[in-house]
């Protein structure tokens, strides 16, 4: 029998399920941080939603904790790294609210197109205004979906049911997968330029914050209507306000905002804007599913059984030789995603040297975890990474070779357009990137990096260095490698800050520079 501490409201059915299994369910809602530190002592499991902050201090006090369960998707309020370090499993309920979120997007789409809340407010206040609230049909309109994850895919299905033409932007979905969904994949600029409506279903990351900004809205089709039920901050709200005021954007339906909770925004003054207070998961069914799902996951964790929605893993489950490569593998996956600027159609993974004699399945999972880290709206784990690969049409080919010419161990990734290899070096087993796009380099993976491929001629390093200096971007380390098969060279630079878009565009315009790729923070 275990003590399960529940600090936020979950479905009664979930509580009953845990009690029926013979455990003590201790419901203490509304705890402040100090009260939580006291309550966590002696608890074997902790179940939360979004309000409870599971900090390193909480985990330290919870010496008996086996599992932390989040009744929902996001894990921003859980120190997952510290939990992993302490051997505490973290689980969530990633599929509990996807239907509700998709339906909320469609509710806002229809409400915005037909001015439903505005007409309702006018009528109940004594005004019969049929002509003022004339709307538009969805049938035959071009519907742009930004992010084709689980929620985006459900929205696409519903858009097809309304007879809409579907286009989408998602660099982490293969063209073949999109084709099966009846969706044409296009660059973001093209999606904005062609769409009558767009619906956003992206995670909030460094790359997506402010993605729909003033420049992007200026490129949009005149009269576009924008729906956002994903995360606040993906749309620049000030830019959206100005675009609606000018008539470039016809209107918007928003469920999320840059700062929440919010009850005061310039957008609220616009009659063509429909808003709701982050209700995407606020249905009876979604809350019931979340409560039941998290109860099931916590019970499995307490039993020591396989937990489908675990988001972390104990490195001790891998052998000693393999476990030290987990971090490198995840870094390689993230760097490769940035090089590819999305998801390749296929990925070849090769383990060379001593690693070829080990069970490397967990390293493949770690690679996939890094690859998908920035491209899905839910946390990526060792458990769900293969499922994400299948859903997005990524073909994975693995191979092993016990011989490695230059290194004791080597992990290599290759697609049609890009290649990458890494290893561990020295007594401290320090991670190193040793090959990028078939150019030999040696540089440690860093929080922010820049990869520049250029003609192999004098002066190119100076051109790049001067541009970065003018942009006030510091260079922490740098490696340069020529190509073995052509007259090109590659620079891999570690930078002290994230390289801005303006510098990327400037470098791409320089004569002799062939490719520029930004590596975002790990």
> Which residues are known catalytic residues?
231, 260, 278
CB hemisphere CA count around 351 (13 angstroms): 19
Pairing status of strand 488-495 against strand 475-482: antiparallel
Rounded distance, CA 458 to CA 41, Å? Answer: 64
Rounded distance, CA 516 to CA 84, Å? Answer: 35
399-414 core/surface letters (b: 16 or more CB in 10 A; e: else): eeeeebeebebbbbbb
Rounded distance, CA 437 to CA 275, Å? Answer: 46
Quote the tokens at residue 395: 């073909």
User: DSSP secondary-structure letter at 466?
Assistant: H
395: left (phi over 0), alpha (psi -120 to 50) or beta: beta
Rounded distance, CA 413 to CA 20, Å? Answer: 48
Distance of CA 215 to the CA centre of its chain: 23
User: Contact, 169 vs 194, CB < 8 A?
Assistant: no
């Amino acid at each position: 029998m275990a003590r399960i501490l529940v600090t936020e409201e979950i479905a009664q059915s979930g509580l009953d399920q845990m009690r029926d299994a013979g455990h003590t369910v201790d419901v203490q809602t509304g705890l402040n941080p100090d009260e939580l530190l006291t309550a966590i002592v002696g608890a074997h499991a902790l179940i939360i939603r979004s309000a409870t902050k599971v900090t390193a201090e909480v985990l330290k006090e919870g010496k008996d904790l086996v599992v932390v369960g989040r009744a929902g998707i996001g894990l921003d309020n859980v120190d997952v790294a510290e939990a992993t370090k302490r051997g505490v499993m973290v689980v969530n309920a990633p599929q509990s609210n996807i239907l509700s979120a998709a339906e909320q997007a469609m509710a806002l789409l229809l409400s915005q197109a037909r001015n439903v809340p505005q007409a309702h407010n006018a009528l109940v206040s004594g005004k019969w205004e049929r002509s003022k609230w004339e709307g538009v049909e969805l049938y035959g309109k071009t519907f742009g979906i930004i992010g084709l994850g689980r929620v985006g895919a459900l929205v696409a299905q519903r858009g097809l049911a309304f007879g809409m033409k579907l286009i989408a932007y998602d660099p982490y979905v293969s063209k073949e997968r999109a084709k099966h969904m009846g969706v044409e994949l296009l660059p973001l600029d093209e999606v904005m330029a062609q769409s009558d409506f767009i619906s956003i279903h992206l995670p909030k990351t460094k790359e997506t914050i402010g993605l729909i900004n003033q420049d992007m809205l200026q490129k949009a089709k005149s009269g576009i209507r924008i729906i956002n039920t994903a995360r606040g901050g993906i749309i620049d709200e000030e830019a959206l306000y100005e675009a609606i005021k000018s008539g470039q954007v016809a209107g918007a339906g928003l469920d999320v905002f840059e700062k929440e909770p919010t009850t005061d925004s310039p957008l609220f003054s616009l009659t063509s804007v429909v808003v709701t207070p982050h209700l995407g998961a606020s249905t009876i069914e979604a809350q019931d599913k979340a409560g039941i799902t998290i109860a099931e996951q916590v019970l499995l964790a307490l039993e020591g059984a396989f937990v489908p929605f675990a988001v972390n893993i104990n490195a001790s489950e891998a052998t000693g030789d393999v476990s030290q490569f987990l971090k490198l593998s995840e870094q390689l996956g993230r760097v490769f995603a940035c090089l590819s600027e999305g998801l390749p159609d296929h990925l070849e993974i090769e383990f060379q040297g001593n690693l070829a004699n080990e069970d490397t399945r967990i390293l493949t999972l770690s690679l996939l975890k890094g690859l998908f880290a920035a491209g899905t709206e839910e946390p990526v784990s060792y458990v769900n990474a293969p499922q994400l690969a299948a859903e997005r049409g990524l073909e994975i080919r693995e191979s092993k070779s016990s011989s490695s010419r230059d290194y004791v161990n080597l992990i290599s990734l290759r697609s049609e357009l890009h290649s990458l290899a890494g290893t561990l070096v020295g007594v401290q087993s320090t991670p190193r990137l040793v090959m990028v796009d078939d150019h030999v380099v040696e540089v440690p993976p860093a929080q922010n990096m820049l990869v520049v491929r250029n003609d192999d001629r004098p002066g190119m390093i100076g051109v790049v260095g001067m541009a970065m200096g003018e942009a006030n971007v510091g260079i922490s380390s740098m490696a340069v490698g020529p190509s073995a098969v052509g007259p090109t060279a590659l620079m891999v630079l570690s930078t002290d800050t994230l390289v801005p878009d303006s510098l990327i565009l400037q470098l791409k315009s320089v004569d002799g520079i062939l490719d520029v790729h930004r590596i975002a923070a790990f």
